[in-house]
Each structure stands twice: as C-alpha cells, then as structure tokens.
Amino acid sequence: MSVNLSKGQAISLEKKDGASLSAVRMGLGWQAAKRRGLFGSRTREIDLDASAVLFAEKQPVDVVFFRHLVSDDGSVRHTGDNLVGGVGQGGDDEAILVDLQRVPVHIDQIVFTVNSFTGQTFQEVQNAFCRLVDETNGQELARYTLAGGGEYTAQIMAKVHRAGSGWTMTAIGTPANGRTFQDLMPAILPHL
C-alpha cells in the first residue's frame, strides 16, 4: 500500500516492525505527450533526468546524475540515462538506488530532482511520476505525481534525511527551471 504524497508531506522510512530501511530506489517515469495532427506518430522526444544531491549540513558534497552515475562512496547509484522515457506502462525510466546503510556518516540529506534536459516543460510530459520503492522487497513506499505540469522544466521532488537513527522522506514538489541539477541549487537550498 503506497502513500500518495502531497507537497510538503513527510513520511518516515522506518518499517512497521521498527527495523530501518536498508535500500531505497527513487524511480522516475514519464511519457512524451502525444501531439495531435497529421504526423501523430512523430512524438517529440523528451529527456528527463533524475539527479540526487548529497548534502552534509547544507553543503553539497557529492551528486549523482547522468554524468556521474555512482557517488564516490558507492552508496548512491544511478541506473543510467534514459533519453526518451515511456518504457512500458508506468515503469521506472530512470532510477536512483540508495543504500542507506552505506551513506557516509556526514551526509544527512539527499535531495532528488528532475530536470527536463531537452527543455520541454512538464506540460508536454504525460504520466510523469516520482516514486520511492523499498528496494529489498519492491514495495512502493510513496508516489508523487507531477500533476498539472506547468510551465516548468524542473522539479525538486523529495528528500530523504536522517532523523534519529533512521531516515525520513519528505516530499517537496517545488517547481523550478533548469537544464541540470546545477541550475537548481538556489532552489534546493531553502528546502534543506
């Protein structure tokens, strides 16, 4: 049973039996919006990119994105760039895997973002979602829909942060503009 998150809502990543989660996956899926007209089959390709920024007390330490697929410490891994989206029905087109137990001790927040690399706004994207999955059993923990996509090219999706001995996920869902995560840094900082 997954939770549909609304903006700003936080969920704890502690399991019901009290054990902490060990590995989570941030999945991102989308489809290009169909264009009406004569050449309907010629949908324009949309390249969304998922990124994760690792922070230690509000300082960015490392980033995982399509040019740097594994964080230096090996705890956060990107499964690879997908340039067109829309693989299957509702599957993850890009995914970032986080081994929470291996995250270095000084990293206390990991922020997930989505950018439109090809520059289309979310109006042209269909069925875009971001979800968090318990990687050990494949259970979906939380899902955030890029609903009502507006005139934005990026969104700060969610963050997982240390809380006590475990981790908590907070949905952020703030729209922004930018081609890669670098452009989003000013927009991310208020949410730390």
Partner 1 sequence: MTAELVRGQNHPLSEVRLEIRISAGVPVVAGATLGDEQGTVHGTEWVAHPGAPALPGIEVSRQAAAEHRLAVDLAALPEAVHRLDVFLALPTGTAGPLRFGAVPAPHTAVSGRDGTEIASYTLTGLDTEAAVLALELYRRQGAWKVRALGQGYAAGLAALLADQGLHDAADLAAAVQEAVTDRLARAVPAPSTAFDPHTAPAHDPLAASADPQVTSGPGPAEPTPPYPLRPDDSADASRADQHLRATGPDHQHSGGPVDYTHPRRAHRTPPPPSPTAAPAADGEPAQPVAGDAVGWTMEERLYNQVWGMFEDLARTTAAYRSAVDFADSRLEKELDQLLADPRLRLGTGADDAREVAHARHTQLTDQARAAFDRDLAQLTAEAEVVEPALPPAYARWDNPVWHAYRSPAEPPMALRLGDLHLPESVPLSIPLLVRLPLERGLWIDSGPTPGDDFRADSAELRHLAMETAAALAARLLAVHPPGEFAVQVIDPAGAGSRALLPLTRSGVLGAPPGAGAAGVAQVLESLTRRVDLVQMAMRGGMAEALPADVDTAQQLLIVNDFPHGFDDRAVTRLRYLADEGPAVGVHLLLVADREDATAYGPLLDPLWRSLLRLTPLPDDHLADPWIGHAWTFEPSLVPVGSRVLEEVLAEVARSRTKYR
Taking the complex as a whole, the smallest distance from the CB of residue 136 to partner 1 amounts, in Å, to: 9
Distance CA 100, CA 15 (A): 13
Taking the complex as a whole, the smallest distance from the CB of residue 76 to partner 1 amounts, in Å, to: 10
Closer of 15 and 179 to partner 1 (Cβ): 15
Distance CA 127, CA 118 (A): 17
Closer of 70 and 189 to partner 1 (Cβ): 70
Q: Residue numbers of the site for partner 1 (CB under 8 A)?
A: 19, 23, 25, 56-57, 59, 61-62, 70, 72-75, 77, 88, 97, 99, 102, 104-106, 135
Taking the complex as a whole, the smallest distance from the CB of residue 75 to partner 1 amounts, in Å, to: 7
Closer of 10 and 87 to partner 1 (Cβ): 87
Non-local CB neighbours of 132 within 8 Å, separated by 6+ positions: 24, 25, 26, 27, 140, 141, 142, 143, 158, 160, 169
Q: How many CA atoms lie within 13 A of 45 on its CB side?
A: 8
- Answer for the pair 76, 97: CB distance below 8 angstroms, yes or no: yes
Residue type, 90: G
Taking the complex as a whole, the smallest distance from the CB of residue 56 to partner 1 amounts, in Å, to: 5
DSSP one-letter code for 75: S
Would you tell me how many other CB atoms lie within 10 Å of the CB of residue 189? 12
Taking the complex as a whole, the smallest distance from the CB of residue 54 to partner 1 amounts, in Å, to: 9
Closer of 73 and 183 to partner 1 (Cβ): 73
Closer of 25 and 159 to partner 1 (Cβ): 25
